[in-house]
């Protein structure tokens, strides 16, 4: 995490992206577009967002094209929206700012009440930059790669809907670690450490750390505990015995697995940059979201 206190950044083109199928974001988004336009900034709007906003004078583009053209993307919604957008824009080196239309989130930490002052300061170069790692995951069936996707929070291999435990083998950098019987395994980034991994007994990992966490879900053997490994490592999960195994990626994508399939997970080569207001504190966010020190 670093503080930008030097030269004013060049945010000449800004993309606005809103929560999918949420008409209530239309008013704050269009007001924000006017605010940016008054600062001589070119405004682009995501194509799916535009379907909720209605007709406007601003260019409408698909997400991938926004990634190629924008210097900054402002996401209006919640953490779920930010997760999806971050996965799509990660290859394009576009910084993200999150505005939450409900309760403040871990990733979308600017409220609509303060967004003009906060964004004005960010556009003037007063912000904190936080780089977050993503995971790239592949599914291999035999010698063939049959699926690949990015994940911001986690990759989860689970038992599916039939209820019985699954058995799988874990390898790290090609080394056999153990065979586990459980309801599943969570492979999480530091960002994902406060999501499903936390509810399964995993540690909270500061986002500045470059690590991957492996968290078993209801393991048959209680000695199977969470492991934290280097982000340079490659994790391989081999399905050995399962009735209905599945792989989930940020809960946005899913792939139905078969016995013998391999899920390979490694750190993605491009981190995503989140911009926060000056004074942003991860620990303060934890206290608020997890209700620490509340009487």
Which residues participate in catalysis according to the annotation?
79
**Residue (of 130, 110, 128, 95) closest to 4 by Cα position:** 128
Query: What length is written for the chain?
Result: 295
d(CA 235, CA 245): 18
Structural tokens at position 85: 């957008």
Give exposure, 211-228, as e/b (b: 16+ Cβ within 10 Å).
bbbbbbbebeeeebebbb
| Structural tokens at position 186 | 């969570």
For 43-74, letters b (16+ CB in 10 Å) and e give bbbbeebbebbeeeebebbebebbbeebbbbb
DSSP letter for each residue of 176-224? EEEEEEESEEEEE-TGGGGTHHHHTTPPP--TTS-EEEEEEES-SSTT-
Instruction: Name residue 83's beta-bridge partners.
Output: none
Place of tokens 């035999």: 142
According to DSSP, the residues that pair with 239 across neighbouring strands are 168
Confirm if 267 and 256 have CB atoms less than 8 A apart.
Answer: no
């Amino acid at each position: 995490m670093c503080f930008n206190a030097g030269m004013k950044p060049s945010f000449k083109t800004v993309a606005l992206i809103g929560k999918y199928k949420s008409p209530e974001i239309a008013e704050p988004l269009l007001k924000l577009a006017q605010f940016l336009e008054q600062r001589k900034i070119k405004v682009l709007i995501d194509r799916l967002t535009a379907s909720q906003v209605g007709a406007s004078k601003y260019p409408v583009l698909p997400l991938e094209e926004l990634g190629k053209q924008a210097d900054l993307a402002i996401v209006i919604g919640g953490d779920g929206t930010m997760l999806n957008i971050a996965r799509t824009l990660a290859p394009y080196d576009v910084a993200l700012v999150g505005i939450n239309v409900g309760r403040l989130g871990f990733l979308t930490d600017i409220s609509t009440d303060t967004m003009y002052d906060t964004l004005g300061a960010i556009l003037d170069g007063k912000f904190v930059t936080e780089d977050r790692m993503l995971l790239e995951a592949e599914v291999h069936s035999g010698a063939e790669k049959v699926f690949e996707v990015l994940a911001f929070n986690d990759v989860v291999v689970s038992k599916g809907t039939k209820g019985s435990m699954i058995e799988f083998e874990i390898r790290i950098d090609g080394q056999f670690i153990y065979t586990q019987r459980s309801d599943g395994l969570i492979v999480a980034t530091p960002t994902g450490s406060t999501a499903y991994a936390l509810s399964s007994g995993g540690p909270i990992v500061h986002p500045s750390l470059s690590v991957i966490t492996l968290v078993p879900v209801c393991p048959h053997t209680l000695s199977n505990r969470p492991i934290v490994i280097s982000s340079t490592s490659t994790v391989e999960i081999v399905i050995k015995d399962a009735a209905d195994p599945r792989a989930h990626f940020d809960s946005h994508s899913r792939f139905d697995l078969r016995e013998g399939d391999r899920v390979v997970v490694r750190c993605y080569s491009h981190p995503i940059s989140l911009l926060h207001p000056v004074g942003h504190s991860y620990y303060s966010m934890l206290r608020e979201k997890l209700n620490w020190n509340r009487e």
